Amino acid sequence: MLHNIKGNYITSVKDHVRQYNEKSFRKLASNNFKSWPNPREETWRLSRLGVLSRKEITPIIPDYKKNFSSFSKFNGSKIIRFVDGALREDLSSNLPPGLSLNILGEEDSLRCFHKFKDSNLKDHPSTNVSFSCTPSIVKLTIEKDVKIRDFFEIIYEGGDDNLSVHPALHIELKDNSSITIIERFNHLSSLIMPLQLVELKKNASMNSLKIFNDSQQSYNLSANCTFLSEKSNYNSFSLIKGGLFTRSETHAYLKGKNCNLNLNGVYLSSKNQHHDLTTAIYHDVPKCTSKQIVRGVLGGESTGVFQGKVRVAPDAQKTDGQQMSRAILLSENATANAKPELEIYADDVICAHGATVGEIDDEQLFYIKSRGVSEKKAKLILITAFLKDIINDTVEESIQNFVFEEAEQALSEIISKEI
Amino acid sequence: MVATKETIDKIKEVSGTYKYGFVTDLEAEKAPLGLSEDIVKFISHKKKEPKWLLEWRLKAYKKWLSMEAPNWAMVDFPKINFQDIYYYSAPKAKPKLNSLDEVDPELLRTYEKLGIPIKEQEVLAGVAVDYVFDSVSVVTTFREQLAKEGIIFCPISEAVQTHPDLVKKYIGSVIPISDNYYAALNSAVFTDGSFVYIPKGVKCPMELSTYFRINEQNSGQFERTLIIAEDNTYVSYLEGCTAPQRDENQLHAAVVELVAMDNAEIKYSTVQNWYPGDKDGKGGIYNFVTKRGNCIGKKSKISWTQVETGSAITWKYPSCVLKGDESVGEFYSVAVANNAQQADTGTKMIHIGKNTKSTIISKGISAGKAQNTYRGQVQIQKKAKGSRNFTQCDSLLIGDKCGAHTVPYINQFTPYARVEHEATTSKISEDQLFYCLQRGLDTEQATSLIVNGFCKEVMKELPMEFAVEAQKLIGISLEGSVG
C-alpha cells in the first residue's frame, strides 16, 4: 500500500501529494512541512507534539460510502456534514437561498493557502499538512445582506485509528450578512488537523460556536485564521472537552476600523487530557475592540494551557483589548499554564489582561456550607456558577442552554472523580 | 539631611543629558584583547586564586563554548564579538589601601562626579560602600565597624583568599555555571564583585552599598556578587552603576547570588544607570545580568527592588527560588526606556516550599522609540501547598513610536495555591495631564510628576538614599520625550 510507510508521517504526506505538479498548492504546502514543532519553539513549549513523531499515522483517503447520521442537536437546524475530512453533500441539508457551498478549484485554494502562509499560522503543522492532504477546500459563502436566522451545524465525523483527517473550510460573509454556526468535532481519528479561514466583509456578523469532542485517543490541532473588515463583528466561543490532546489555535486580524472581536472559551479536562486554547489578536487599524474570556476546570492528571497574545500595531490608536483567564484546579495532579501576552506599539490604547489560577475559593465555600449545604454540593454549585457565568456573558442567548448542557456532561465526569 | 540636599543639588545641575558620561584618566592594566583559555588562566593568576577556582572557571568556559546566545528576548542588537572585549582591566596596582586618603585623587574625583560622593556617604553614616572600578574592587568603606559585628563585606577576590570555604560552598550554588549563556561567561571571566556574609543572629546595622563603574574603552565588566545571610539575620544591600559615554557598545554581564537561611531577610536594591547610548541608539551598555536568590530557610525573605533607567539593552530577571516553608519573595521594579533603549526585564518566582508567598509589582515606562518588555514566570510546584502569588504589571506609553509588552508565564502544579496576575497598558491620561497643566506646571514637569506617581508603589520600597536619586533619575531619563 502506498500510504503505509511505517512511522514517518512526513514521508506519507509527501506520498499523498506525489501525483500533483510542482506548482500545486498541495506540493507547496508539503514542501513546507519538515518536522513536528520543536518544544523549544515558544508557541509549542507548553503543548508538546513529540509523541506524534513516534506514532504510525497516515493521511486518510476518504470513504464516500461511509454513512453517518448523528442527529442534529437543534430542531430545524441546517446541517453540513464532513466525513473523513471530506464534504458529504448527500448527508447535508439543502441550503437556503443566499447561501452557497462550493468546492474550491486550484486557483482559489492557492489563495486560501497564501492567506495562511502570510499569517503567523504559517508554521503551524496543520497549515502545511492539511493543505497537502485535504480532500478539498470547501467554501461556504453568505451573500450580501443575507441574514440567516436558522442555526447552522457543521458536523465533523469519521476517521479511524492511525489515520489523520484534514477538513478545510473557508467561510466568507459578504457585506451586511450574518450567520450563527455551530461546529462539532466528533472524530475517531488519531490525528485531526482542521483548517478554517473566515473572512468577514464590511458590517458582517458571525457567531461561532466550536465544540471539540473527539475520541479519547485523538490529537486535534485546529488552526483558524480570521480576517475582519470594517464594522464587522466576530463572536466565537470554543468548548474543549474531548480528545487526548486538543489545541485550538485562532489568529484574528483586525483589518478594518470599528470592528469587534470576541474570542472566548472554556476547557474542561479530566484524566490525562491536554487542552490548549491559543489565540493571537492583531490590531492593525485604529478603533477596534477585542475581548477574551477563558475559563478552565481541571481534574485528574490533566493539563490546561491558555496562551493569548494581543498585538497592537503602531497605527492602531484607540484600541481596546481586554483579556481574562481563570483556571480552577480540582486535583492534586492537574496542571494549569497561562501565558497572556501583550505586545503594544501604539500609545493611545487601553489594554489589560488578568489571569488567575487556584482552587475553589475558601470563603465562598464556607458561605454556602454555612447555609447547611454539604461540601460536595457546595463545590458543585460553585463550579457550575463559574461556568454559567462565562456562558451567560459570552454566548448568544438562544444557544446558552445547549452550551451549558454540553459542558455539564464533561463537568460531571471531572467532578465525580474529584469531589 | 545636608547630604540629601547636596544630592538634589547635584542632580539639578544636570540638564537632560547623561551626567555620568565622563572618562577618568587612570592608568589601567589590561589583559590582551579577546577571550581564550589563557585569558581565563591569566585572570585567575592575576587574582592569585586557588586551583579549585581556576578549574571551576575553566569548566564554565568550556560550557560557555558549547552554548548559544539566547535570542528569545524582545531585544534587537548586532551579534556581540566576544573576541573584541577586554576581559580584565584594572587601575594600575597600588599597594593595598587602608583608608580613602590613600586612594588615587583622580578616582576620588570620579566618585564625587558619580553624584553620591563618598564623603556624603559618610555623613549619612549608615552606608558602607564597595567601589568596583572596571574589573576591580577599589575600596571598601566601614569595614572595621562591620567586622566588629562579625559581618564580612569585602571584594569577592579578597574573600576567595580570606574565606575560601564560604566562597567555595556557595559560589555557583544558586546560579550554576551552566545556567545560561551569560552566567557561564561570567563564571569563566568574572573579575571582582562584592562578598557579604552575615553571621547568625546579626542584623546588619547599616546599608551596604556597591558602586559599579566601567571606565576603560572596549572593556567588559563581569562582576559577581555573593550574599549569604545566616539564620535570623537582616541585610539591606544597594547597588548603583554608571559608565562613560562612548560610541561603541560595552558589555556588562554580572551574576548576583543570594542565599537566605532560616528567618533571614535580604533586601537588594539596584539603581541601574549605565550609559544608555545617544538619541539614535549609538553606543551604550549591554546589560545582561543574571540575579537569583535562594530562600533556603524557613520564613526567609528575599526582596528585589530595581530602578532601571540606563543601558542600551537590559536583559535581566532577578528571581527567587522559594524553597523554605513560608519563605517570601518580592520583586519591585521600575523600568524606564527612552530613545532607542530596549529593556526586557522581569522576574521568576519558583514556589517549592509550603505556604510560600510572592509579590511582583512591575512598572514599565516607554518613551521615544524604546521597547520595554516585562517577562515573568510564576511557578507553583506540587509541594508548594498554600502558596500565594500576586502580580501586577503596568505599562505606560509616552509617544506613539514606542512599545510596551507583557509576557507573563503562569505554571501551577497544585490546586492548593492561588496565583493572580493583572496587567494594564495605557498612556498618561488626558485628565491628569490637564489637571497638572491647569495648576501651572509645564508638560514636562507634569509628565514627570505623573510618572513618579505611577512608580510610587516601587519607589517606597527603596532605601531613602536611593529613593531621592531614583526619582530624579526617572525625570532625567524621560527628558525630551514629551512635546
Q: A343 and B411 in contact by Cβ < 8 A? A: no
pTM for the predicted model, two decimal places = 0.84
CB of B170 within 8 A of CB of B195? no
Chain A residues with CB inside 8 Å of B360's CB? Answer: none
pLDDT of B398-424, one tens digit each?
A: 888 889 999 999 999 999 999 999 998
Residue B66, burial from CB neighbour count under 10 angstroms (0-12, 13-18, 19+): exposed
Which chain B residues touch A334 with a CB distance below 8 Å? 415
**Which residues of A touch chain B, with CB atoms under 8 Å apart?**
42, 314, 317, 327-332, 334-359
pLDDT at B34 over 50: yes
Q: Give the per-residue pLDDT at A67.
A: 80
Out of A347, A351, A359, name the one closest to residue B400 (CB): A347
What residues form DSSP beta bridges with A180?
A207
Q: What angle do CA B443, B445, B448 make, to 5 degrees?
A: 105
Q: Residue length, chain B? A: 483
Give yes or no for residue B97 having a pLDDT over 50.
no
Closest-CA distance of chain B to residue A268, Å: 15
Contact B425 A344 (CB under 8 A): yes
Q: What's CA A204's distance to the chain center, in Å?
A: 20
**A311 compared with B449, residue with greater pLDDT:** A311
Q: Which of A290, A350, A341 is nearest to A317 (CA)?
A: A350
**A337 to B410: CB separation less than 8 angstroms, yes or no:** yes
| Of B253, B101, B139, B236, nearest in space to B187 by CA | B253
CA A126, A131, A133, A135 dihedral sign is positive
- Predicted local confidence at residue A7, as pLDDT: 53
Would the CB atoms of B406 and A349 count as touching at under 8 Å?
Answer: no
**A343 interaction partners in chain B (CB closer than 8 Å):** 74, 403, 405
Residues in chain A with CB shorter than 8 Å from the CB of B411 are: 335-337
Give the gap in angstroms from C-alpha B397 to the nearest C-alpha of chain A.
5
* pLDDT of res. B244: 64
Contact A344 B405 (CB under 8 A): yes
> Taking CB atoms and an 8 Å limit, are B425 and A342 in contact across chains?
yes
Which of A314, A344, A357 minimises the CB distance to B404?
A344
What distance in Å separates the CA atoms of residue A166 and residue B49, rounded to the nearest whole number?
Answer: 64
Mean pLDDT score, B458-477: 78
pLDDT, chain B, mean = 82
Q: Is B233 in contact with B201 (CB distance < 8 Å)? A: yes
| Partners of B251 in beta bridges | B286
Name the residue with higher pLDDT: A252 or B237.
A252
Q: Residue B87: which of B256, B214, B176 has the closest Cα?
A: B214
Residue numbers in B near A350 (CB within 8 A): 424-426
| Alpha helices per DSSP H over B364-455 | 430-438, 443-454
CA distance linking residue B478 with residue A81, whole number of Å: 60
Residues 6+ apart with CB under 8 A from A137: A103, A104, A108, A109, A112, A168, A169, A170, A195
pLDDT of B23 reads 60
Q: How far apart are CA B196 and CA B140, in angstroms?
A: 12
Does position A74 have pLDDT exceeding 80, yes or no? no
Distance, in Å, from the CA atom of B123 to the CA atom of A218, rounded to the nearest integer, reads: 71
Q: Chain B residue with minimal CA distance to A355?
A: B421
CB nearest A340 (choices: B380, B382, B408): B408
Q: Which residue does chain A place closest to B385, by CA atoms?
A: A332
- Host H or E run for residue B471: helix B464-478
Q: Do B412 and A336 touch (CB under 8 A)?
A: yes
Could you tell me whether strands A335-344 and A303-312 are parallel, antiparallel, or unpaired per DSSP bridges? parallel
Mutate to test the interface with B, among A283, A323, A343 (most CBs of B within 10 A): A343
Distance between CA atoms of residues B439 and A88, nearest Å:
72
Contact B419 A350 (CB under 8 A): no
Please indicate if any CB of chain A lies within 8 Å of the CB of B434: no
Q: Please name the member of A317, A335, A344 whose beta carbon is closest to the beta carbon of B403.
A: A344
Mean local confidence (pLDDT), A12-28: 89
Q: Is there a contact between B423 and A314 if contact means CB atoms under 8 Å apart?
A: no
Asked if A351 lies within 8 A of B421 by C-beta distance, the reply is: no
Quote the pLDDT of residue A2.
41
The domain locations on chain A are 9-256
Q: Which residues of A touch B408 (CB under 8 A)?
A: 338-341, 355
Residue B100: its pLDDT value, please? 54
Pick the residue of B366, B391, B412 with the most A CBs within 10 A to test the interface with A by mutation: B412
8 Å CB contact of A336 and B411: yes
Mean pLDDT of A356-369: 90
Cell 554580572, residue?
B254
Top-confidence residue, B8 or A61: A61
- Stronger pLDDT, A347 or B293, i.e. the higher one: B293
Q: Which of B34-43, B344-353, B376-385 has the lowest mean pLDDT?
A: B34-43
Flag the least confident range among A212-216, A276-280, B148-152.
Answer: B148-152
Banded pLDDT at B71 (limits 50, 70, 90): confident
Q: What percent of chain A stands above pLDDT 90?
A: 70
Backbone angles phi, psi at B287, to 5 degrees: -105, 95
pLDDT of B93 over the 50 cut? no
Cell of A293: 474570556
- Interface check B417 vs A, CB under 8 A: yes
pLDDT of residue B120: 44
**What chain B residue is nearest to A41 in terms of C-alpha separation?**
B72
pLDDT of residue A73: 73
Secondary structure class of B34 (helix, strand, coil): coil
Q: What is the mean predicted confidence (pLDDT) over B377-390? A: 94
A65, A16 in Cβ contact below 8 A? no
A203 min Cα distance to partner chain B (Å): 28
Q: Within 10 A of A150 (CB to CB), how many other CB atoms are there? A: 14
Chain A residues whose CB is inside 8 A of the B403 CB are 343-345
Which residue from A342, A345, A350 is facing B423, i.e. has the nearest CB?
A342
B421 contact A CB<8A:
yes
User: Is the pLDDT score of A387 beyond 70?
Assistant: yes
Measured between beta carbons, which residues in chain B are less than 8 angstroms from residue A316? none
User: All 3 cell numbers of residue B88?
Assistant: 580584565
CA distance B249 to B78: 10
> Is pLDDT of B118 > 70?
no
Contacts of B425 in chain A (CB under 8 A): 342, 344, 349-352
